[in-house]
Amino acid sequence: MSVQQTNTEAGEIRQLDAVVIGAGFAGLRALYKLRDEMGMDVQVYETGDGVGGTWFWNRYPGARCDSESYYYCFSFDEDLAQEWEWSGKYPEQPEIERYLNHAADRFDMRRDIQLSTRVTSAHFDDAANRWEIRTEHGERVSAHYLITAVGCLSAANVPDIPGRDSFQGESYHTSAWPREGVDFTGKRVGLIGTGSTGIQATPVIAAEADHLTVFQRTPNFTVPARHAAFLAEDQARIKKNYPAIFARTRESPAGFPYFPIERETMSVSAEERQEVLEGLWEEGGFKFMWGGFSDLLINPIANEIASEFIRNKIRGIVKDPETAELLCPTDHPYGSKRPPIDTDYYVTFNRDNVKLVDIRNAPIEAITGTGLRTKNAEYDLDILVFATGFDAMTGSLLKIDIQGAGGRRLADVWAEGPRTYLGLQVSGFPNLFTITGPGSPSVLVNMPVAIEHHVDWIADCIEHMRAQGKTRVEATEDAQEAWVEHVAEVSKESLMGKANSWYVGANIPGKPRVVMPYAGGQPLYRERCEAVVKADYEGFEFRA
Ligand code: NAP
């Protein structure tokens, strides 16, 4: 739908059943569910000029998925699963973007998605039990339900380094990468950030650029992805097994089609431990976290064994001992930050044209016209890449002026950290549903699996309201309070709170430190959501 076809402030306000914000995995799934499966009148607004969400924006060099393709996808339509051919284990960004575009076309979604349109505000009208939504183009629509599908990692964090805007060369944040790409040939490139993004981008930029300087504040543990193309027999096996694969993704703690092994680190000999870890390193991927020992994320001693194993790998790969030690994380346990997986990250530091610079001990003081200055050196650069992450989980929601019942602003209600019931609703914000909102497992689960669960739950809730003749649903303050406490309690059992990560908001200056995702695992969370429904939507208040 073009902008011209929608209503403007001068015209009548268009009445919709639901507005969905975002056209990534979550928005697309929500649109199909509500419109095609439930017959609702739905409008999706998307800031980008294409669909795909994360996979539209993050087109930086080396961007590829960390979860395997055949389960990092929609499971709701068997025909879609059967017709789509994934090229290999860890597809690159263009392939996932193509997949999401294919889904948008296949289900005729585009007619209800307005691209290039940022939602600027959403205010709840208490009397009408409806949301009034405004866009950057001045459009105004009214919707019974507001569904946010804004992504957990979509508000870019571009650090406010002195002189940032004075740089005369090209500079990019990895999540706002130009469609036409960036030519690094013959260029001196500086890259700030060594999270999953920086770790993916480093080897690819290094291979193209004249010189790459990686500015590292905190070293990160990464294990090899071991990407491999699928053979015809892999495709056939996957397609035959899709129902079982998808069923397992819904039952396992992290939404993968395999279950964590029931074996504690200390239950086996040192030799056997080494063998298991070697096997996992060779196999590659996230299995390193789940497939070896069950206590990696809860037992500090077990964690240290795995952490030291990775450090020794770094020391073995990186030839310059000083660089190797700089790359060894020592300030946080493995897995307490979201672990990256990589293709040739550590070995890239053996290249003559790559330099690792420690900005922990000699911080960046300023960005200059010609490059960057740290406490003890100047670096001349042609291109500066910010792989500096996101204002995660709350950033994109709080960019929108969301006001609930009685004009309460979400930004005020969340001033001390996000508060939700089940990560699905916020007390005081009736008829607003937050797909993979803070307080739900979200980022700790394979995202499409978490998203599909939320969309189904929301749809069932709306169906329930229709059946009961209700027009307003809202989480109670008490239920929310208890859930927030439960999320905090559960997080204490994991090592997650131990690192300064985006999980806890530590990457954004001034952001309250709260473990935002629910760390109890997907099965427990799903059980909880089902129990709530069975208990007649306990903790939710419905009104006619
Ligand atoms: P990130 O994990 O938050 O890493 C940001 C990096 O930038 C960190 O090394 C951080 O250092 C550094 N940084 C931030 N502000 C800085 C500053 N002011 N000065 C110097 N350094 C600064 O962000 P990300 O790498 O974009 O990844 C975010 C998440 O996106 C991942 O954890 C993952 O969930 C997702 N992701 C997924 C994939 C995939 O599936 N393929 C790929 C990429 C990203 P500190 O650690 O010291 O804060």
- Condensed to tens digits (0 to 9), the pLDDT of residues 7-44 reads 444 568 999 999 999 999 999 999 999 999 999 999 99
Which of 67, 161, 197 has most ligand 1 atoms within 8 Å of its beta carbon, as the pocket-test mutant?
Answer: 197
Q: For residue range 316-328, list pLDDT tens digits in order.
A: 999 999 999 999 9
User: Nearest C-alpha to atom 34 of ligand 1 is from which residue?
Assistant: 338
Q: Residues 35-58: what's their mean pLDDT?
A: 98
CATH T-level fold of 3-155+392-543: FAD/NAD(P)-binding domain (3.50.50)
The answer to whether the CB of 198 is under 6 A from ligand 1 is yes
Q: For residue range 61-79, list pLDDT tens digits in order.
A: 999 999 999 999 999 999 9
In the chain, which segments carry CATH 3.50.50.60? 3-155+392-543
Main-chain dihedrals φ then ψ at residue 543, nearest 5 degrees: -135, 155
pLDDT of residue 494: 81
Place of tokens 């952001």: 511
Which of 507, 508, 511, 513 has most ligand 1 atoms within 8 Å of its beta carbon, as the pocket-test mutant?
Answer: 507
pLDDT of residue 498: 81
pLDDT of residue 4: 36
Q: For residue range 99-136, list pLDDT tens digits in order.
A: 999 999 999 999 999 999 999 999 999 999 999 999 99
pLDDT of residue 10: 53
The answer to whether the CB of 501 is under 6 A from ligand 1 is no
CA neighbor of 44 nearest in space, from 23, 14, 13: 23
The answer to whether the CB of 193 is under 6 A from ligand 1 is yes
Indicate the pairing of strand 371-374 with strand 378-380: antiparallel
Distance CA 313, CA 345 (A): 12
Angle at 475 between CA 471 and CA 477, to 5 degrees: 135
Cα(522) to centroid(ligand 1), Å: 24
Is residue 114 within 8 Å of residue 43, measured between CB atoms? Answer: yes
CA neighbor of 90 nearest in space, from 230, 198, 205: 230
Q: For residue range 370-426, list pLDDT tens digits in order.
A: 999 999 999 999 999 999 999 999 999 999 999 999 999 999 999 999 999 999 999
User: Nearest C-alpha to atom 24 of ligand 1 is from which residue?
Assistant: 389
Distance CA 104, CA 24 (A): 10
pLDDT of residue 419: 98
pLDDT of residue 254: 92
pLDDT of residue 5: 41
SS3 assignment, position 170 = strand
Q: Does residue 473 carry a pLDDT above 80?
A: yes
Distance CA 212, CA 469 (A): 62
Distance from the Cα of residue 346 to its chain's centroid: 24
pLDDT of residue 11: 64
Average pLDDT of the chain to the nearest whole number: 95
HSE, side-chain direction, 13 A CA sphere, residue 77: 15
Q: Rg for the chain (alpha carbons), in Å? A: 23
SS3 assignment, position 129 = coil
The answer to whether the CB of 135 is under 6 A from ligand 1 is no
User: Nearest C-alpha to atom 31 of ligand 1 is from which residue?
Assistant: 196
pLDDT of residue 297: 86
| Neighbouring-strand partners of residue 112 | none
| Neighbouring-strand partners of residue 16 | 143
Q: Does residue 309 carry a pLDDT above 60?
A: yes
Is residue 203 within 8 Å of residue 343, measured between CB atoms? Answer: yes
| Neighbouring-strand partners of residue 189 | 212, 383
Instruction: Calculate the alpha carbon distances from 143 to 169, 444, 491 in Å.
Output: 45, 31, 36
Is residue 362 within 8 Å of residue 216, measured between CB atoms? Answer: no
Q: Does residue 183 carry a pLDDT above 60?
A: yes
The answer to whether the CB of 199 is under 6 A from ligand 1 is no
The percentage of the chain sitting over the pLDDT mark of 70, rounded to a whole number, equals 98
Q: Does residue 439 carry a pLDDT above 50?
A: yes
Q: Does residue 480 carry a pLDDT above 70?
A: yes
pLDDT of residue 3: 38
Distance CA 362, CA 213 (A): 14
User: Nearest C-alpha to atom 25 of ligand 1 is from which residue?
Assistant: 195
pLDDT of residue 499: 87
Is residue 505 within 8 Å of residue 512, measured between CB atoms? Answer: yes
Cα(27) to centroid(ligand 1), Å: 24
Whole-prediction pTM:
0.96
User: Nearest C-alpha to atom 46 of ligand 1 is from which residue?
Assistant: 218
Place of tokens 């990464």: 222
Lowest mean pLDDT among 116-130, 259-273, 351-365, 468-482: 259-273
The percentage of the chain sitting over the pLDDT mark of 90, rounded to a whole number, equals 94
And the tokens for 331?
């300030």
Q: For residue range 482-530, list pLDDT tens digits in order.
A: 999 999 999 988 888 788 999 999 999 999 999 999 999 999 999 999 9
Sorting pLDDT into bands at 50, 70 and 90, what band is 259? confident
Direct distance between the N- and C-terminal alpha carbons of the chain, in angstroms, rounded to an integer: 33
The answer to whether the CB of 64 is under 6 A from ligand 1 is yes
